[in-house]
Chains A and B, each alone.
Chain A
């Protein structure tokens, strides 16, 4: 069926964008959870754990996202676990996100001066209390800008799972292109939708980078 690019095409793409947003959110929540655990273990855990996590981060950061997606999608189904594309997409993006966010957040925790730990220690706070009331609130403020900045990367990275057939915005664009044969219109619209999602995040990220001052936590 050949049809031409019109409003219904834009609607189709916007529905694809919905899946992009859902996938991005899922990736951020799952990846963010593991990233937090990894960042804490990487900075505070026992030496062997630190080494293993550092190794994991180095390996993932040295592998293209597309290869991680392929390994998850094709590879694991052979091992006997069968993943529907949504799960394979979410899992591989989460692994990738974990490696990068854990590194960013580790930097934020390590940016807190040693004296803050010592002061908290002198106040007889336990290790957990030091983290909870002194270190993490400050690290959180530093991390806001970079974290929102990385959300942009997450949204853009979800486009890669189009290549295993998960129908998000980019895949929707490919499908629409096959129907209309108007690639210029289609991919320009796709790009515009990505821009509409990512630019506000980039803008917010730049703004949040200004927040450095630490107010008391209530």
Chain B
């Protein structure tokens, strides 16, 4: 007998789905702000800082890029209380996701900074631009333009990766879905709804990133970097 789809019991709990989606946005939003802050500090530390700092950042990046987010989450949530640091599920999730994103964004931002030749900065200063203007127009905006696809792709992966936080029952969409599934017993319908919500959120954010990009890079584009660089960035991204 064929399985009859029935979305009614799941739809009856639509407010829970909406709340879960909102919590996912809040959770990943907090993690993204913290993660990007770590990324900026890490990238500047690695390119401009003293040698030992660059080494330390490098070790951090490799450690977090070569272990799964789920294990990092378990280590922070279950492991840290063992050495006396007790965190709520949400706090542990935010810290784990932020540290993970921090490692990836350090590498992405560093690639951007290193793509700006020193001579460009000197040329800017020679034209009588102030230091602040040079940083803004010669370093940040052109660097951001180069890494924009990789960076926004990583942010999307972070939003989707936050579903992992359901493993420690943080309040977000996948955990809300698991709760709905256990009350309705409509597994397939529940997770299809959840998938549709994640897809809608992802496409909405891609659109927002695209709009921000239009505004940010409204000046004429320099020659496009090679496609090979794009491909390289795609493979580096990950959760």
Contact = CB atoms under 8 A, between A and B. Distances in A.
Contact of A191 (B67, B160, B195): B67
Max count, chain B CB within 10 A of own CB: residue among A67, A163, A188, A191: A67
A111 B195 contact: no
Given A67-B191, A152-B66, A156-B238, A190 B3 contact: no
A146 B187 contact: no
A177 interface: yes
B75 A188 contact: yes
A62 interface: yes
Contact of A71 (B80, B192, B238): B192
Interface in B147-204: 156, 160-161, 163-164, 166-167, 174, 177, 181, 187-188, 191-192, 194-195, 198-199, 202-203
A159 interface: yes
Main secondary structure of the interface of A (DSSP, over half): helix
Contacts of B62: 199, 202
A2 interface: no
Contacts, number: 160
A111 B66 contact: no
A170 B195 contact: no
Given A108-B231, A111-B231, A212-B228, A74 B187 contact: yes
A160 B174 CA distance: 13
Contacts of B202: 61-62
A104 interface: yes
A64 B174 contact: yes
Contact of B68 (A67, A68, A156): A156
Given A64-B160, A64-B163, A191-B67, A146 B195 contact: no
Interface in B27-82: 62-63, 65-72, 74-75, 78-82
Interface residues of B, number: 51
B234 interface: yes
B235 interface: yes
B238 A190 contact: no
Given A66-B163, A107-B230, A159 B66 contact: no
Interface of A: 59, 61-68, 70-71, 74-76, 78-80, 100, 103-104, 107-108, 110-111, 142-143, 145-147, 149-150, 152-153, 156-157, 159-160, 162-163, 170, 173-174, 177, 182-184, 186-188, 190-191, 194-195, 198-199, 202, 205, 209, 212
18 contacts: A61-B202, A63-B160, A64-B161, A66-B164, A71-B195, A78-B188, A107-B227, A108-B231, A142-B231, A146-B234, A152-B238, A160-B164, A162-B70, A163-B70, A173-B71, A174-B74, A177-B74, A184-B79
